[in-house]
């Protein structure tokens, strides 16, 4: 029984009419219940219902900001700091107690704010990807965001759309929908007028209008599926950095355990030793690592959005930096996607105008399809179309590969027209066999000149289909395509054309763009993956492009390239590109992409062309460089502090820093390093990948040389200048702070430290924190005052060692690169394994 209760009417605070009744009841009863019709709603009524039922979305579970802030005080690292606070109070070290407590709160505030800002940035970017839909309001089609849909709305569904709400199909042709995400069905299901289609389904075939009967949490998806927060996929780079974090924690625990054991053996006060050990552990653990990762990725995503590339999955930034093969669609990416109509081939005595008219009647301007628009633009007198009435129109779909229309002329006679792929139209036509050789010759001739061919057929009343002609369509290459392809090649990215066009067209386009002439057609591809021979894999790897390609071929191409060790980027726009976009390491939905393609992709472009993709690759490589610099710096600094402190305690039985000094050192380090997300870097002209050997090698060299310099100053202060122990501690605090921050300028370049100019924000952050550290040491805040003279001496000493370290770093890079080049000839690609690219050895990499 249809729910006729008062809640179905438009009353304030009414609930949306949902349930099995509206899914299965007769369509006219559903319209009556929803107080709607095929004419849709008015804007006024829609607004009223939006207030009534709420947005068409499943509300995300948001954490209370206060609870989120408190979470920064919960976990292994905060527990250690809190334990140090408690121990300071127990032993009566009240200055330590208050300063460590203050630094704990400050670190939590900074971490909370930065993560909150990063979250807001990502939310703003994702809002740009909000799905829109065609809705009939006030009897006119408009395209509001899908979240504004309400029960009773009439929407239009077409190929590639993700169904935005639970709907009932209105009068029209059956549609094929993919409901695998909801029901697990592997094959598309056919839905007839009156049938229900659930929110989240993908339209695979057909075009129709539909009546919305449930939105938001009241949909089938909303009621049957628990809210699943998007899983945060950890990229290869993040995994590597997290491994570094675990390594540093393990190292810190081992060395601190040694310190505790020796102190107990020597009879030092247990509580004081324990407090110091906890603080040293806190300083060694990369507390800021999650925040630096989040901020750097969020800043990178904002930079990419300015280049018209919106990141829907943050970890895609790292994948994009490593792409070495880009499979690019021809139409719209390499070409302008602005088709122009040439002189058609006409069968028999038919004129060009008649052939173009038949093709135009099988086209629709409101679909905004480039082929349809090109055909319609070929009509010399647009008013001629008004004398014909289109009774029924069947849109293009990947199965039939044609559009078709039933038409009535001004004399009342009915006929049918169709346009589509020439081979499809030949099979449809009764005169196809006799015209096959002639049409093939025409198609080959058009293709040799870079034209796509479009077959046109007509059938009078119930008579047989007759081929009437072939239309040539030309899609000129984009003005910047040739230069961009050359730029990509210089960057180590091989662009392979992927097109459904004929082999001759693909070769002609590739020739114009200097892409290479080795274009394979589908006869070389095994879409089922049964053969996958070595010869086929080599052919795919060395091909410059692929012609007459279907979606299953795209998937296979990507699979083979990945098995050969390549990191593959893939562009796509159609619903059938979705599997390949998901399969690729970095799926890129072009500006004209369907909802399904955008949902499957990691990056969505908002402007056409290949240049925006290359710009995005450049930016992602810069982001990668910043992360690489941070990793080297973080390891080197931890080694520097841990080794110096441990050796000083074990060898000299002296604590060179107090607990408060260590915590302040850690806080100033973490505060400044956040600015590395905005640093100036130069991308490498080759794909990026995580080279752990190089990172650990350079970081270890810098981390070991640092304690040597520190012990040199310790010897001078203790044995030459005869400082008392409290002033030695102040001197060492300033030395470790200044020298540690200068390490940032060593880790950020492979060449001399001056080879890439640092960003102003990095300079301000580093020297700003060091001015604070210097003032603390000079005037003795929570330590013995050092005075300006000795403070300047420390700065001079640190700068001298900074210059020495820079030379040592260059030598270390040369040794590592020499060893790597020696080992390179023996390296082989292993299927499924991503191999690091060889880094440049010049100073600007």
Asked if 456 and 359 touch (Cβ cutoff 8 Å), the reply is: yes
Of the candidates 569, 575, 606, the residue with the CA atom closest to the CA atom of residue 588: 569
CA torsion 185-187-190-196 (nearest 10°) is 20
C-alpha to C-alpha distance for 715 and 728, rounded to whole angstroms: 10
Contact in structure between 517 and 510 (CB atoms under 8 Å)? yes
How far is Cα 150 from Cα 8, in angstroms, rounded to an integer? Answer: 13
Rounded (5°) CA angle 221-226-229: 105
- Pairing relationship of beta strands 389-394 and 345-346 according to DSSP bridges: unpaired
Residue 345 forms beta bridges with which residues? 470
* DSSP label of 588: E
Q: What is the C-alpha separation between 275 and 200, in angstroms, rounded?
A: 56
* Residue 464 vs residues 128, 350, 406: alpha-carbon distances, Å: 49, 17, 14
Quick check: helix, strand or coil at residue 146? Answer: helix
CA atoms of 108 and 114, how far apart (whole Å): 10
Written as six digits, the tokens of 230 are 């998007």
Residues 6+ apart with CB under 8 A from 472: 341, 342, 343, 344, 345, 446, 449, 451, 452, 453, 454
- What are phi and psi for residue 26, nearest 5 degrees? -55, 145
Report the relative pairing of strands 154-157 and 134-137 from DSSP bridges. antiparallel
Q: Which two tokens stand for residue 172?
A: 């029209």
Rounded to whole angstroms, the Cα distance separating 13 from 48 reads: 11
Active site annotation includes 329: yes
* Residue 809 near residue 701, CB atoms below 8 Å: yes
Distance between CA 398 and CA 176 in Å, rounded?
11
Query: What are the angstrom distances between the C-alpha of 664 and each of 283, 291, 738, 827?
Result: 9, 18, 13, 46
Task: Count CA atoms closer than 13 A to 404's CA, side-chain side.
Answer: 16
Q: Annotated catalytic residue: which of 161, 329, 544, 806?
A: 329
The burial class, CB within 10 Å (0-12 / 13-18 / 19+), for 750 is: buried
Check if the beta carbon of residue 104 is closer than 8 Å to that of residue 287. no
- Catalytic machinery residues: 329
């Amino acid at each position: 029984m249809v729910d006729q209760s008062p809640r179905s009417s438009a009353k304030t605070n009414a609930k949306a009419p949902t349930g099995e009744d509206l899914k299965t009841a007769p369509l006219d009863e559903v319209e009556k219940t929803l107080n709607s019709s095929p004419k849709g709603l008015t804007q006024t009524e829609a607004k009223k219902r939006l207030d009534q039922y709420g947005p068409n979305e499943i509300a995300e579970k948001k954490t209370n900001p206060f609870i989120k802030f408190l979470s920064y005080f919960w976990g292994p690292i905060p527990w250690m700091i809190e334990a140090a606070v408690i121990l300071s109070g127990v032993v009566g070290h009240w200055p330590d107690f208050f300063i460590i407590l203050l630094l704990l709160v400050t670190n939590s505030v900074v971490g909370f704010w930065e993560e909150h800002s990063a979250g807001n940035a990502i939310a703003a970017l994702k809002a740009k990807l909000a799905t829109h839909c065609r809705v009939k309001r006030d009897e006119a089609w408009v395209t509001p965001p899908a979240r504004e849909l309400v029960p009773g709305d009439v929407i239009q569904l077409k190929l590639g759309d993700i169904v935005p709400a639970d709907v009932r199909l209105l009068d029209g042709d059956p549609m094929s929908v993919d409901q695998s995400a909801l029901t697990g069905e592997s094959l598309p299901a056919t839905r007839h007028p009156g049938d229900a289609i659930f929110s989240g389904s993908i339209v695979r075939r057909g075009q129709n209008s539909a009546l919305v009967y449930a939105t938001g949490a009241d949909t089938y998806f909303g009621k049957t599926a628990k809210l699943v927060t998007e899983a945060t996929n950890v990229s290869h780079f993040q995994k590597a950095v997290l491994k570094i974090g675990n390594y540093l924690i393990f190292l810190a625990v081992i060395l601190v355990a040694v310190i505790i054991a020796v102190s107990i053996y020597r009879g030092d006060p247990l509580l004081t030793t324990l407090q110091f050990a906890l603080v040293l552990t806190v300083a060694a653990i990369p507390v800021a690592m999650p925040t630096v990762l989040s901020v750097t990725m969020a800043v990178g995503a904002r930079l990419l959005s300015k280049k018209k590339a919106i990141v829907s999955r943050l970890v895609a930034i790292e994948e994009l930096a490593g792409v070495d093969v880009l499979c690019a669609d021809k139409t719209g990416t390499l070409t302008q996607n602005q088709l122009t109509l040439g002189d058609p081939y006409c069968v028999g005595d038919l004129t060009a105008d008649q052939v173009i008219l038949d093709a135009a009647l099988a086209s629709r301007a409101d679909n905004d399809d480039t082929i349809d628009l090109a055909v319609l633009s070929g009509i010399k007198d647009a008013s001629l179309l008004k004398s014909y009435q289109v009774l029924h129109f069947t849109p293009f779909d990947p199965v039939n590969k044609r559009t078709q229309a039933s038409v009535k002329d001004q004399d009342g006679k009915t006929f049918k027209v169709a346009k589509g792929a020439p081979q499809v139209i030949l099979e449809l036509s009764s005169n196809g066999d006799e015209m096959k050789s002639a049409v093939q010759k025409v198609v080959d001739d058009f293709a040799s000149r870079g034209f796509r061919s479009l077959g046109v057929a007509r059938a009078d009343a119930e008579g047989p289909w007759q081929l009437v002609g072939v239309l040539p369509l030309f899609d000129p290459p984009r003005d910047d395509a040739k230069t961009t392809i050359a730029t990509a090649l210089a960057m180590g990215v091989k662009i392979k054309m992927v097109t459904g066009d004929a082999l001759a067209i693909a070769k002609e386009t590739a020739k114009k763009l200097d892409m290479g002439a080795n274009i394979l057609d589908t006869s070389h591809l095994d879409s089922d993956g049964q053969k996958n021979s070595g010869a086929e894999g080599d052919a795919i790897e060395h091909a410059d492009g692929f012609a007459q390609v279907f979606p299953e071929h795209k998937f296979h191409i990507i699979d083979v390239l990945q098995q050969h060790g390549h990191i593959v980027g893939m562009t796509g726009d159609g619903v059938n590109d979705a599997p390949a976009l998901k399969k690729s390491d970095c799926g890129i939905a072009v500006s004209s992409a369907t909802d399904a393609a955008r949902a499957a992709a990691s990056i969505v472009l908002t402007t056409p062309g290949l240049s925006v993709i290359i710009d995005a690759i450049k930016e992602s490589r810069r982001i990668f460089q910043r992360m690489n610099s941070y990793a080297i710096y973080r390891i080197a600094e931890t080694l520097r502090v841990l080794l110096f402190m441990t050796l000083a305690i074990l060898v000299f039985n002296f604590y060179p820093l107090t607990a408060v000094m260590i915590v302040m050192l850690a806080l100033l380090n973490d505060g400044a390093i956040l600015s590395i997300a905005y640093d100036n870097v130069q991308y490498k002209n080759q794909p990026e990948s995580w080279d752990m050997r190089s990172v650990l090698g350079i970081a270890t060299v810098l981390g070991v040389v640092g304690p040597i310099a520190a012990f040199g100053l310790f010897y001078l202060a203790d044995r030459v200048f005869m400082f008392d122990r409290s002033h030695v501690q102040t001197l060492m605090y300033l030395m470790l702070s200044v020298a540690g921050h200068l390490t940032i300028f060593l880790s950020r370049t492979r060449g001399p430290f001056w080879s890439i100019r640092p960003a102003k924000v990095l300079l301000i952050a580093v020297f700003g924190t060091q001015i604070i550290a210097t003032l603390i040491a000079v005037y003795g805040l929570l330590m013995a005052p050092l005075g300006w003279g000795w403070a300047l001496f420390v700065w001079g000493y640190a700068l001298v060692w900074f210059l020495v370290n820079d030379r040592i770093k260059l030598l270390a890079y040369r040794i590592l690169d020499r060893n790597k080049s020696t080992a390179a000839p023996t390296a082989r690609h292993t299927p499924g394994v991503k191999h690091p690219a060889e880094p440049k050895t010049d100073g600007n990499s």
